[in-house]
Amino acid sequence: MLAAMHQYIDGERRAGTTGETFEVLDPSTDEVLETVALAGPADVDAAVASAQAAYAQWSRATPVERAAVLTKAAALLDERAEDLARLESRQAGKPIRLAREFDVPGTVDNTAFFGAAARRLDGMASAEYSGDHTSSIRREPLGVIGSIAPWNYPLQMAAWKVLPAIAAGNTIVLKPAEITPLTSLLFAEAFTEAGAPPGTVNIVTGTGPVAGQHLVGHPDVAMTSFTGSTAVGRRVMATAAHTGKRVHLELGGKAPFVVFDDADLEAAVHGAVAGSLINTGQDCTAATRAIVHRSVLDEFVRGVADLFAVVRMGPTSDPATDLGPLSSRAHLAKVAGMVERARGYAKVVTGGAAPTGDLARGSYYEPTLVTDVPLGSELWTDEVFGPVLVVVPFDDDDEAIRLANDTEFGLAASAWTRDTYRAGRATREIQAGCVWVNDHIPIISEMPHGGYKHSGFGKDMSAYSFDEYTQVKHVMHDLTGEARKPWHRTIFTLPG
């Protein structure tokens, strides 16, 4: 058992006020990892009050001071990288290699990036636009941000929410997913240790309908940023509407993976395996719909099936393990149910079952490849969020683009081709927040991540995220010094 974990409010670990607790499980074995407090409305109120108190100081810190805190926090997180990786691997069921090489270094780099970005908030140049005034722009924080995060990348999602918010001078209350709260607590502590006022980053560990809903509806919270499913995102938006607050939504995905007939097929096959199995397919940008030119379809299906067969499922602590479990028994049942129903209308080429033996103690599910999937069927339209790739053929480029856009989602997509004009058309016409060419998945701190269509709006990462977490103020100074300004005559004229 790890050291007792609680909520993180006002710069300290706190027990919850409800007396209720929640068991965090390791989904690779279903062993209890930790028991955490379940926050109630009073805990959320305390966290918001603490964030409000910290705001007075943190929002007035200079960019240099904020940058110093974030830069130091990045160094602290880097020192603790191995502890963070192990904890993330256990609570989320990630193969340790993924946690060590992706989740944790990505978080450290994001923290360092926002340390630098805190010193560079852009706006229009000050100028005499009216002739009689000097106009300038102030980019100001909003206040207390209330954020809700999902369970698939608990540490990275906490980072994506917290970093742009505090780099811009806001303070924050984050509610991680109830099943994966542990690394967010360690993440938050690094900022207090690095010198942020207590209350700058707070974590409440509760359920969505209770703590999450209360946070979103809180009148002292200026903005809600949410990452999670499209269904819950819509509910969050409706709740936020009662207090008219700004909302930033990062929602689901159903990424197309378009393979043209001139593609490097070996690259496309490897890309499809990596892109669909990353994080056991529990990635909002994962490749889920392979749209493949009919002339290379059989070769593509054979290549992916062959690689799926050699992917190693195993204990998450083993560096040789490629594929970990799904996040929970409930999620395993959802994924397995969708594939079972698909047997009635499509062809399961490989996978489609949970492994037996030792791995049956956890929520493992085999890499699954499905062909002959009708358009409009559940597996074509709905997010599976598991290691499941569907393949459909196309005959010409128009059809490929049409199929790629045949989804309510628009988070990410990729096009595989050696033809620069085809690539150019795909990047222009596919409706998604990110389109890769001849790759699928890489993200970088300098570039934005966010959805089109029902995948949400607003951007995480990069300087673009400051548009979400700041408000723009126009400041206008009169230059004439006259009591009777020239423009007054538009409104009234004095006699004589």
| Closest residue to ligand NAD: CB criterion | 208
Cβ closest to ligand NAD, residue 102 vs residue 151: 151
Please state whether beta strands 412-416 and 434-437 pair in parallel, antiparallel, or not at all (unpaired): parallel
User: Which of 260, 385, 394, 466 is the binder for ligand NAD (CB under 6 A)?
Assistant: 385
Residue 221, C-beta contacts closer than 8 angstroms, at least 6 positions apart: 48, 143, 144, 145, 146, 173, 215, 243, 245
Taking the C-alpha atoms of residue 212 and residue 330, their distance in angstroms, rounded to an integer, is: 20
Q: Is 336 in the site for ligand NAD (CB under 6 A)?
A: no
Cβ closest to ligand NAD, residue 95 vs residue 386: 386
User: Which of 10, 26, 34, 178 is the binder for ligand NAD (CB under 6 A)?
Assistant: 178
Dihedral sign, Cα of residue 208, residue 210, residue 216, residue 217: positive
Q: Which stretch binds ligand NAD (CB under 6 A): 7-15, 113-121, 204-212, 240-248?
A: 204-212
Taking the C-alpha atoms of residue 84 and residue 471, their distance in angstroms, rounded to an integer, is: 34
Q: Is 177 in the site for ligand NAD (CB under 6 A)?
A: yes
Q: Which stretch binds ligand NAD (CB under 6 A): 207-215, 258-266, 345-353, 466-474?
A: 207-215
Catalytic residue IDs:
250, 284
User: Which of 95, 150, 154, 169 is the binder for ligand NAD (CB under 6 A)?
Assistant: 150
Q: Which is nearest to 14 in space by CA: 255, 132, 157, 185? A: 185
Dihedral sign, Cα of residue 220, residue 223, residue 229, residue 230: positive
> Do 257 and 249 meet the contact criterion of CB atoms below 8 Å apart?
no
Q: What are phi and psi of 6, to 5 degrees?
A: -135, -160
Extract the tokens encoding 257: 């993976």
Q: Is 442 in the site for ligand NAD (CB under 6 A)?
A: no
Q: How far is the CB of 453 from ligand NAD (least distance, A)?
A: 12
H helices of 148-252, where? Answer: 154-167, 182-193, 213-217, 230-241
Hey, which residues between 208 and 227 contact ligand NAD (CB under 6 A)? 208-209, 212-213, 216, 227
Q: Is 151 in the site for ligand NAD (CB under 6 A)?
A: yes
Q: Which stretch binds ligand NAD (CB under 6 A): 64-72, 130-138, 230-238, 398-406?
A: 230-238
Cβ closest to ligand NAD, residue 191 vs residue 385: 385
Query: Virtual CA dihedral for 296, 299, 303, 308, nearest 10 degrees?
Result: 90
The single residue listed with the structure tokens 């990892």 is 33
Q: How far is the CB of 228 from ligand NAD (least distance, A)?
A: 3
Radius of gyration of the chain from its Cα atoms, rounded to whole angstroms: 25
Q: Is 252 in the site for ligand NAD (CB under 6 A)?
A: yes
Q: At residue 355, what is the residue type?
A: P
Cβ closest to ligand NAD, residue 282 vs residue 371: 282
DSSP 285-344: T-EEEEEEEGGGHHHHHHHHHHHHHHPPB--TT-TT--B---S-HHHHHHHHHHHHHHTT
Question: With CB under 6 A, what is the number of residues at the site for ligand NAD?
Answer: 32
Cβ closest to ligand NAD, residue 142 vs residue 236: 236
Q: Tell me which H or E stretch contains 268.
A: helix 265-277
Extract the tokens encoding 106: 């990505």
Q: Is 232 in the site for ligand NAD (CB under 6 A)?
A: yes
Q: Which is nearest to 92 in space by CA: 231, 275, 280? A: 280
Q: How far is the CB of 235 from ligand NAD (least distance, A)?
A: 5
Cβ closest to ligand NAD, residue 9 vs residue 434: 434
Q: Is 235 in the site for ligand NAD (CB under 6 A)?
A: yes
Q: Which stretch binds ligand NAD (CB under 6 A): 24-32, 174-182, 194-202, 487-495?
A: 174-182
Q: Is 148 in the site for ligand NAD (CB under 6 A)?
A: yes
Q: How far is the CB of 38 from ligand NAD (least distance, A)?
A: 11
Cβ closest to ligand NAD, residue 61 vs residue 249: 249
Residue 53, C-beta contacts closer than 8 angstroms, at least 6 positions apart: 10, 199
Q: Is 386 in the site for ligand NAD (CB under 6 A)?
A: no
User: Which of 24, 247, 411, 413 is the binder for ligand NAD (CB under 6 A)?
Assistant: 411
Distance in Å from the first CA to the final CA of the chain: 88
Distance from chain centroid for Cα 162: 11
Q: Is 292 in the site for ligand NAD (CB under 6 A)?
A: no
Q: Is 228 in the site for ligand NAD (CB under 6 A)?
A: yes
Q: How far is the CB of 157 from ligand NAD (least distance, A)?
A: 6
Using CB under 6 A, list all residues that contact ligand NAD. 148-152, 157, 175, 177-178, 207-209, 212-213, 216, 227-229, 232, 235-236, 250-253, 284, 383, 385, 411, 451, 455-456
